[in-house]
Amino acid sequence: MANRKEYFYFIDTHTAGEKIAIVEKATNVVSKNGWTSNYQTVKTAGSNILKIRGSFLDSALVNNALDGSYSNIPARFHEAIVSKVIARGYKDPRHMELKTSQFFDNEFELGVKRAKKFSKGNYQTTGRIVPQDF
C-alpha cells in the first residue's frame, strides 16, 4: 500500500499581501531550539499544481473599453450595481437627496438578495431523516 501523505494549508497576511502556506505532516521531523513541529515544508520534488476553489472578484471595468462589461456576473444583476453607484451619488454633498439615495440602496439590496439565492442555487444537498426513540 502506498505511503499516504497528508498535506495542509493555512493563510497568513504578510507585508506582501495575503499568502497561502502548504505544509506536509511529518511527526517529530522538524526540530529547532528544543522544539519539535509535526509539520514541515513540502519536500516533494517537481512541480505540483495547487487548485483553489472559492469566490472571487469579477474583473474590473476599464476606461478604454466602454463596450466591455463584467464578464462573470450575470447581466441581470448589473443594474443592481448601477443602483449602488446612483445611491452613492445622491449621498454626495453637492447633490444630497437622502430619500432617493435610500431608494437606490434598497434596489441594490434586492439585487444582492436575488444574487445570493442564485449563487446558492447550484448547491445540492441530500439527506435522510433518521427516526429516534426518546
Site residues for other proteins, 26-45, by CB under 8 A, read 30-32, 35-45
Q: Is 7 in the site for other proteins (CB under 8 A)?
A: yes
With CB under 8 A as the contact rule, the residue among 3, 28, 72, 126 that binds other proteins is 72
In the complex, least distance from residue 134 CB atom to other proteins, rounded to whole angstroms: 35
Size of the site for other proteins (CB under 8 A): 80
Q: Is 106 in the site for other proteins (CB under 8 A)?
A: no
Residue with cell 431523516: 129
Task: Judge whether 21 and 9 are in contact, CB under 8 Å.
Answer: yes
Nearer to other proteins, 20 or 98 (CB): 20
Nearer to other proteins, 59 or 102 (CB): 59
Cell numbers representing residue 88 in the block: 452613492
Q: In degrees rounded to 5, what are phi and psi of residue 28? A: 55, 35
Spatial neighbors of 68 by CB under 8 A, at least 6 apart, are 61, 62
In the complex, least distance from residue 98 CB atom to other proteins, rounded to whole angstroms: 14
- Give the x-and-dash track for 107-126 against other proteins (CB under 8 A): -x--xx--xx-xx-------
Cell numbers representing residue 130 in the block: 433518521
CA distance 105 to 115: 15
Q: Is 91 in the site for other proteins (CB under 8 A)?
A: no
Q: Is 98 in the site for other proteins (CB under 8 A)?
A: no
Provide the b/e sequence for 1-16 (b: ≥16 CB within 10 Å): eeeeeeeeeeeeeeee
